Amino acid sequence: MQLPELFHKEYQGFLLETGFDDPDPQSLLMELASLSMEVYLKEIAWLSDFLGRLEKGREVA
């Protein structure tokens, strides 16, 4: 998934804060969800919200 520039900085901040390094938020969400929802619940919630806002931004554009 190619991130629009508007969302790139926010996602990079998330990666720095969490220590993950996957450049694709959809891929990271699927990976975390397959591991353990309880351990990564905060990160899964953030990624779900982020991807939702990304989709809304694409619909408006």
Here the tokens at position 28 are: 């990271």
Higher pLDDT, 48 or 36: 48
pLDDT by residue (tens digit) across 10-34? 999 999 999 999 999 999 999 988 8
In this prediction, residue 46 has a pLDDT band, given cuts at 50, 70 and 90, of: very high
Structure tokens at 9: 């900085």
Per the structure, the complete domain to which residue 39 belongs is given by 5-14+21-60
Between CA 26 and CA 35 the distance in angstroms is 15
Q: What is the pTM of this model?
A: 0.73
**What is the tally of structural domains in the chain?**
1
